[in-house]
Structure 1
């Protein structure tokens, strides 16, 4: 990636970049480097083989899949997508180049059959994969919809290493046949080796829309590369002729929304990519290494910047006649908070998730974050997963009033659906979210979330009636799709200079008979024991103070004198040192009889868990209890949700069991 600090104009920089930018062999999804005599070559092959083995008719589609030095690993290089309608047959012709120095039988290519969606898409599902080699004792075929008993080949390998793998090279014809409504078949042949797959039933429809009966096929090389030649069905993105093509336009991807001041432009944009559209409408994905970048104004100061990206290559990676440019905006900031998901909103569904937080019976767990979205789909936002301690899913609910799972299906009722989804989706980028998860103690759960958009628009949304959970084994965690969550709610100056009661959090209501908990990270100047968080119980109607309790097990107020307070530590010096960066879960219980209890669990920066309690705070109006947090010579960050050490079982990896 080249990086220029000064710019007079986009075109000036583009001209400068003409000689500076170079291609990156093997790094593209596909590239064109086949010779111009492909058509003649196909004709000569057909003539040599005779009519019985003539190559099928097709349109020229010339490009290369995989690194030509044989370095492509599996699932790193892909052909175009070829859509095969019901009742149709796909014929593809290509040259398969086998590494002469690698006798590994699996180093050829796999034909992937899938639903009608992109890899990683919401509705992408695989029928399975069929490799050209045949190894019954290995994994030359796989997938839930591939019956290996239907495979026949005239070349079989018994091990992963066999010099005979060279027989798989040459001009290969792949035929995927859906013409018979009662059957399905695949044939792969190079005239020397032929492998077939046949089943007596058609492939089922894996698309959510029953009217879409298409399937997709694509090729994935491993330790080899493919010079694609022709196809009878037009691929997504169009055919590629052997002639070179000039670039026309650029669409940037994975541009970060925020960059920390002091970060170089090269490092900040290392994960950016671009979709380049060339003449005739074909496209190509290029990485940051093949783009030139300029920030306007420069990166030295905080503020909003315009990123200018320049590309100066043809489809065949020659210098183009006129460079093209694309633009995007990002911000340089002086503080980066912890976030969930990539800040360019590229994280796929469940690609990032927090630890699971236990929510006890009759408890509400409150989480606060800022939601950022790519703004493409309503579900490209936060989501909430409800699981047990072993990680088994009860239910998942999305920000856009949709969910699934055994505790959701046919039971839950979403509320707060916005009048205009497009406006709501736009408002969700940069929206402040306060999420409430309530374990009602009877096997039911309520989820609600208050949203305040950057423009002031407010939404109150959620779900009632989620049911069928084990109230004593209930955990909640956050995830997302094509979004990221920033945990940037802060109480107090970050240099820990705020005076006593110098900053206040939001107010948390505590209904009678309920416990309300929230989590934060405590940072302290460390001068005195009381230079930490303070919890204040108040009447939510008039802010009358019932009691205030400090982190160091001390308090005051009209309701404090009657309480019993205790803490789990004796070494105050070690405790104070551990409180700088300590993770805290604070819980307030409204007993319902005019008294309240407070419990703080603190995981110190030394890994030690400290607890303190205040039980029996009285003179409480059971119908009007709330609490807020303040500080002295410290600050609090409502950070990523975390699992208390006593909830270790909830830290097991959770694999999603359901999709929309």
Structure 2
């Protein structure tokens, strides 16, 4: 097993059953799948224009009496850029390979050349880019005026038409860094790191535009509005599924580097992995607990068994010859082992398309023990968005410790460390901290108490709040290993969601140990329905807390951190609320989480 940096789908927080279907015709959206999937950002492609253009990827054309686009060296950018002067480019839409969940985003550098002819004006009508169907009868385009226009079978929408008014969004004669998202309820445009447009649209269903952009076959550069785009230059065009975050919005070179995630790679990335040669680290659970994995399955597609395999043992890894293998379960619903029975395996796979379905598929794998029975559920979401479910159970005499290992053949796996945990998993609305109506008074509702023996120890939950005050959200209480009401109970510290905290008299609590970069003007609203992950990590007498927040709209906020020094006992922890309600998802140990650092 190796840890490598990969561009992140910060993705599919996979704690529940997914229900969705692939899009049908352009402009048609999938049936709602509920709130189980937390959209995460995925970089699909970057066109850097640093190398000679491959005509199989980008096709170049000229307008009448115009010029074919060319690559030129730009002194200001200090790189090669695409120069479009009376021409345009066509690209097969890279978004066709994925399923957009709540948005489509683009970032790019652009510069319009100042027009010097008599009566020349800045080109505000020509499209910088457009997405179109095969014959161009349906299209979406965007211009330097921020003119956003959609014309599809399911309706029309436009904003910032330059014939109505000029926005001054992008001035000519200088390079600008543009970061924009088309989301299900509107759109936002940043120029040079500054928010210029942020519009929530109620009179038109913007999810239609999102799915249109992800579904149509063609992306054009410098074409699509019905007006020839005048001379301009383009560099570093990056396309994402879902909504970009602060990391992509900031101007590169000023702290706005692309966001990365450390995926754990199992197998050879050229998919040449021989059988029984590559393994994930052993993950163990004691008693009635759950082990969960989320990973991407990359296969050569040669056979149905060239995919992931789950091994369940008596707590020993593959190097221990005395291990008992209770189960080896393959992705194609086949298996073996001392407790395996083919009668216990069910799936709704389409075996006619299975080998292609598994290419780049995301697998949500849950292993839940109850007494002497272990239930395995694998929910597979294909790159096109089709969802399959496989269930299996084993039953019989089991050891107190169960070990889990992932391996593969003719394939490789990308495991997301933020999805791998051992502990308890909760279905939505089955474990609330505080009433759902958010009427909880101060110090009146609490999560279950946990002894934090092994770290990283993590809580994940949906933070439901009334959005009236910044402190009406989650609170974390860390104790000396004892619960409320227990003899000798003492608190080390309490921290609130809004980067505030305290400790009792004599505590080593220090407010200077808090670090957060929240936008306090929007914080209360952003926390309403946000997915939260609180991570506790102990190192000797020091405990570090990191809170990761993803808003209900899929926007990832910057990390909120705190550390406490001077811990001399066991650690206990619980959550509480005030005028809020926490819809708990998981509580437990995340063994691979340090791979994300």
**TM-score of the pair, normalised by structure 1:** 0.29
Where relative contact order (Cα < 8 A, 6+ residues apart) is larger, the structure is 2
**TM-score of the pair, normalised by structure 2:** 0.31
Higher alpha-carbon Rg: 1
